[in-house]
Amino acid sequence: MKRWLNENSLSIFFFALLLLALLGQSIAGWKDFNEDAATHHSQLLSYTRYLVSSDFGEGVMENWQSEFLQFSTFILATIWLLQKGSNESKSLDDQGLESDQKQRMKSFAEPGSPLWAKVGGLRTALYANSLLIVMTAVFLLTWLAQSLTGWNQYNDDQQEHDLAPVAWATYVTRPDFWSNTFENWQSEFLAVGTMAVFTIYLRQRGSPESKPVGAPHDETASSG
């Protein structure tokens, strides 16, 4: 068990942080929701009811979809785009999809390679792009979930003010929906862009997200 925990400590650590952050968000959001409801003499929600409400769901999905968009675009961009000196870029000689030999697939697969990397055809093509496919699918699903929960919340507000509800197709064309969406997207692109540049000149000893401390600034795609 100790060895398993050590070998999986990175994912365990971040999933634990995720659960703690979700718990904190849910409690703070619940209290904030009920304070606002009390001010407007609206119905208060229990904590369990708040967890399945559109208010909480929209907040969670709004953040999740922007994160998966960040990873999807970064995965795709780093196939073709380079940044000299950055640890976030691959080698300047490896631009593009790379050869089967470099990727250790098909006839160049090793004994321990995944089966779908060896068989060729559609299965290998799907497996060779599976990370981007799954990340993009999760982004689209979380964006859809955000739009649906936001739509429900928007119509609830409409009814409280004796206004007519709107269709989903109308809601996703509203400027306030896209203002919130772009607000999240630009922060994700800022984070990735600055990381790509910071790793040219800055170091963190022992982290694979940094070049070795003594690496020259123009050394590309190396890890410390």
* DSSP state, residue 106: G
Q: Please tell me the predicted confidence (pLDDT) of residue 71.
A: 94
For residues 108 and 193, membership in a common domain is answered with: yes
Is 173 exposed, middle or buried, given 0-12, 13-18 or 19+ CB atoms closer than 10 A?
A: exposed
Residue 208 CB contacts under 8 Å (≥ 6 apart), including other chains: 223, 224
Q: Please tell me the predicted confidence (pLDDT) of residue 161.
A: 82
For residues 8 and 91, membership in a common domain is answered with: no
For residues 123 and 208, membership in a common domain is answered with: yes
Closest CA to 68 of 178, 173, 153, 144: 144
What domain count does the chain have?
2
For residues 48 and 58, membership in a common domain is answered with: no
Q: How far apart are CA 87 and CA 196, in angstroms?
A: 7
The 10 Å CB-count burial string (b at 16+, else e) for 59-68 is bbbbbbbbbb
For residues 30 and 64, membership in a common domain is answered with: no
- Domain finish residue from 52, 67, 87: 52
Q: Please tell me the predicted confidence (pLDDT) of residue 169.
A: 95
For residues 156 and 213, membership in a common domain is answered with: yes
Encode the chain (224 residues) as per-residue pLDDT tens digits: 889 999 999 999 999 999 999 999 999 999 999 998 898 888 899 999 999 999 999 999 999 999 999 999 999 999 999 999 998 999 999 999 999 999 999 999 999 999 999 999 999 999 999 999 999 999 999 999 999 999 999 998 888 888 899 999 999 999 989 998 999 999 999 999 999 999 999 999 999 899 999 999 999 988 86
For residues 96 and 16, membership in a common domain is answered with: no
For residues 112 and 162, membership in a common domain is answered with: yes
For residues 105 and 82, membership in a common domain is answered with: yes
**Residue 20: domain span:** 1-52
For residues 32 and 74, membership in a common domain is answered with: no
For residues 128 and 103, membership in a common domain is answered with: yes
For residues 102 and 37, membership in a common domain is answered with: no
Q: Please tell me the predicted confidence (pLDDT) of residue 224.
A: 67
Q: Please tell me the predicted confidence (pLDDT) of residue 40.
A: 81
